[in-house]
Structure 1
Amino acid sequence: MITSPSSVRRSERSRRATLDAALELCTEKGYGRVTVEAIAARAGVSKKTIYRWWPSKGAVMLEAFAEAFVGATPFVDTGDIAADLRTHINAAVRVVSTPPYGPAYAGILSEMHHDDDLARAVLEQLVGPRVEAAVGRLRRAQEQGQVPAGADLPLAVEMLYGPVYYRHVLRRPAQDEATVAALVSHVLRSLVTGDDAAPAGTRDDAPAQG
């Protein structure tokens, strides 16, 4: 089972060098051609040191990606849930669609289908906490009356992230800001039910048609 590396026993300088080396090599060679030996040589650490801190290449890549992704995609709260979701999703799109993080995450998503330990680590260290944070932001919007009380918040998160992953995994062009705005608007409208519902395209936050 993949566990989080110990931050007590390892040198931060060596950790950073290892993560940076993994990302650089992934961009240069492609995820599948990167080896732990190559990461160790580029980082100036021993292969034994890497295996003492991480159980696999995938675990190294996951820590490198997750650290960057979480830092670049905070769930801000300006009081405007639509604006905040646009900010968040646009940042997520930028991270997963540009080197070095995009190639690394594409490799991780592919490898996790053949590595149960890595799959669990992705869910525990990245996906689970990000979904929880997204649901928490939507819940605050719900408390502020911006999201209906009966809305299915976990489903809303899947609707927001699903198109991002779809394009990333199938290597389709990433969403631009207008597409993200349309996505956020559509998801928020879909959460409105009953007497509060308005026909699509009639609400103030509907994207302009060009």
Structure 2
Amino acid sequence: MAPRKQQEIFDATLRLVAERGYDGLTVEGVAERSGVNKTTIYRWWPSKAALLGAALVEADVLGFEPPDTGSLRGDLVALVEAMAGLLTRPPARDIALAALGAAVRHPELDGRRFFADRFARERPVFERAVRRGELGGTADPMLIVDLLAGAVWVRAVFRGQPVTGGFAEEAVSAVLDGLATAPRKAG
């Protein structure tokens, strides 16, 4: 399939899941929006779960390139800012909340693929930090990402609070420097 047509299918899939949720997502609806026959979609993806899983990883709208600022701290701040953007700016916010929320209720939609792909893309940040001597070889990169991503999810999604105004720097400082030395906001 031509890459442009594939992106059109992925975009239609993600728009529909954002608008209607996973239960309202249909291969027929994706086919209609993307201008292809549903048999074409089924030829490449055997189910709507497989289609959405591929779209989450491969769609341009959720594209992700790992930062390389020259320092672990800078890279982590950039990662947190990218996560915050994913969870606060449309259309990515609507897509992420609908699709990843559906993954909890629908095991056939393997949300782990999305997170595994993201972590594989984030891993070079930690590999470079180890080479530069900024991070010990025994540090757990996935734990670091989980702590930072968890902070963004809780703040942005569950609490509905802003993740701007130094949030990324504060979260990274808390993880890298520890809570005893993390800068504290007044108030």
TM-score (norm 1): 0.72
For structure 1, list consecutive stretches of 5 or more residues without a partner in the other structure.
Answer: 1-9, 191-197
| Higher relative contact order (CA closer than 8 Å, sequence separation 6+) | 2
Partners of 2:175 and 2:44 in 1: CA distance: 41
Instruction: List aligned pairs for 1:150-165, cutoff 5 A.
Output: 150-165=138-153
Partners of 1:25 and 1:177 in 2: CA distance: 32
Secondary structure, aligned partner of 1:116? coil
Alignment of 1:44 with 2:32, yes or no, is no
The equivalent residue for 1:200 is 181
Partners of 1:181 and 1:108 in 2: CA distance: 28
The answer to whether the 8 Å contact 2:57/2:117 transfers is no
Seen in structure 2, the aligned counterparts of structure 1 residues 66 and 173 have a Cα distance that, compared at 3 Å, is farther
Identical columns (%): 31
The equivalent residue for 2:112 is 123
Aligned residue identity for 1:132: A
Partners of 1:135 and 1:207 in 2: CA distance: 29
The answer to whether the 8 Å contact 1:90/1:177 transfers is no
The answer to whether the 8 Å contact 1:18/1:39 transfers is yes
Deviating runs (4+, > 6 A) in structure 1? none
Computing the radius of gyration over CA atoms, which structure comes out larger, 1 or 2?
1
Partners of 1:95 and 1:168 in 2: CA distance: 10
Give the aligned length: 186
The equivalent residue for 2:120 is 132
Give, in angstroms, the shift of residue 173 of structure 1: 3.4
Secondary structure, aligned partner of 2:109? helix
Give, in angstroms, the shift of residue 199 of structure 1: 4.2
Secondary structure, aligned partner of 1:59? helix
- Could you list the per-position Cα deviations for residues 58-99 of structure 1 after superposition, in whole angstroms to 9, with x for gaps in the alignment? 33333333233663x322223221112111221222123222
Aligned residue identity for 2:181: A
Partners of 1:149 and 1:40 in 2: CA distance: 48
Seen in structure 2, the aligned counterparts of structure 1 residues 137 and 186 have a Cα distance that, compared at 3 Å, is same
Give, in angstroms, the shift of residue 37 of structure 1: 1.3
